[in-house]
Amino acid sequence: MLPDDGETKRLAALTAAIAADASARDADGGFPRNAFAQLNDAGLLAAPPIGSGEALRLLRLLAAVGRGDLSVGRIYEGHVNALLLIQTYGDPKQRERYRGLAAGGAVFGVWNTDAPDDPLRLDPDGNLLGKKNFASGVDGLSHAIVTVTQNGARRMIVTPVAGRPVDRSWWRPLGMRASGSHVVDLNGVTVEPGWMLGGADDYVAQPWFSGGAIRFLAVQVGGMHAVFDAAVAHLRQTDRAKDPHQAHRLARLGVGLETGYLWLRKAAEAWDQAVVAKDAAGTHLMATANGARVAVEAAALALLEDAERGVGAAGMIAPHSLERLIRDMRTYLRQPNPDGAATAFGAAIADGRWIPNARHGAAG
């Protein structure tokens, strides 16, 4: 279904509201509270579109948020993921509790990466030991779903995070500064009844674990759109847009960005099919998500190159908007295991589990 004009206008307004504070939060690294206030006012903290058949709406929303600020997009994608995990694996009391907190403006996260020298554990007495790394949004979150390995399986625990010791010394990134992906010390937290979420290895259950990559891809496509916006605006303002060399760059920028959005549509369709059809469609979802990762990364890198060459040195100097956008985009593109995604996609093609222009992995 194509978006109506009203939805397009609402998403554009949300993008503009989020973008208003992006430069300031990049400068101070602070949690983007104004952006999340905007999301809360729009009802998008309590009720993002995560129901059956809503995948395309969700990906369009995530792209709009990322277009405003990739750091906000990263944190918001974690919030959406947390709500989806709670909706899928939580008991009725958990679902009611966290929906209520989100309705009051609470922001959630999902922290899976352990500190290499002190991974998170759960001792026999129910106490947490260790730390989480890349704990995005810690300065503004109410709760986070943290993962621990227990009896050889990955388990999820929903834990409050306000007031926990945070090591901010290592987070000196090229971009994505406002995502606040610090190290959080969870030593001594006692896990209370009702904090355990789902069962053993539910967090890594397929196809949702691999297929969930389509959410961060949507944020990245939004970041591509912001780079496109900045480059086109600069070339128009400097009266260079009609230069034939620049026209070729603009053509490639447009093709690259539209490629990203087209893959999001295909990914949304694959997700919705997997929700309904499960097995065969789940295999197709994982392959599509991996293919989308390959395509979006390639399109984004090419788009960045054309934007940088088209605008020139002026775009590398703050306060030009492209300077921050380039840093954020190049940082956020470095998602885990891109080579593994490409290998898995190639294997799916070789085995006939993914066919171009197909549904459920079968010719359509």
Mean local confidence (pLDDT), 296-316: 98
Contact 102, 203 (CB under 8 A): no
67 pLDDT band, cuts 50/70/90, is very high
358 pLDDT band, cuts 50/70/90, is confident
- Dist CA 294 CA 18 (whole Å): 28
Question: 160 φ, ψ to 5°?
Answer: -65, 145
Per-domain residue ranges of the chain: 5-197, 208-363
Q: What's residue 2's pLDDT?
A: 55
Residues making up the chain, counted from first to last:
364
Question: 265 φ, ψ to 5°?
Answer: -60, -45
Q: What is the pLDDT of residues 140-172, one digit of tens each?
A: 999 999 999 999 999 999 999 999 999 999 999
Average pLDDT over all residues of the chain = 95
Mean local confidence (pLDDT), 11-17: 98
Q: What's residue 364's pLDDT?
A: 34
Q: What's residue 68's pLDDT?
A: 98
Tell me which amino acid residue 336 is.
P
Residue 248: pLDDT over 60: yes
Is domain 208-363 given the CATH code 3.40.50.10610 in the classification? Answer: no
Q: What's residue 362's pLDDT?
A: 42
Mean local confidence (pLDDT), 173-186: 97
3 pLDDT band, cuts 50/70/90, is low
Q: Across the chain, where does the E strand assignment appear?
A: 108-111, 121-122, 128-129, 131-135, 143-150, 153-160, 166-167, 182-185, 196-197, 358-359, 362-363
Q: What is the CATH number of domain 5-197?
A: 2.40.110.10
Tell me the C-alpha to C-alpha distance, in Å, between residue 10 and each of 16, 225, 226, 230: 10, 16, 17, 21
Mean local confidence (pLDDT), 11-15: 97
Tokens representing residue 229 in the block: 């916006």
- Dist CA 147 CA 272 (whole Å): 26
Higher pLDDT, 362 or 272: 272
Q: Which of 125, 136, 211 has the alpha carbon at shortest distance from 168?
A: 136
Q: What is the pLDDT of residues 200-227, one digit of tens each?
A: 999 999 999 999 999 999 999 999 999 9
Give the rounded distance of the alpha carbon of 94 from its chain centre: 24
Q: What's residue 359's pLDDT?
A: 65
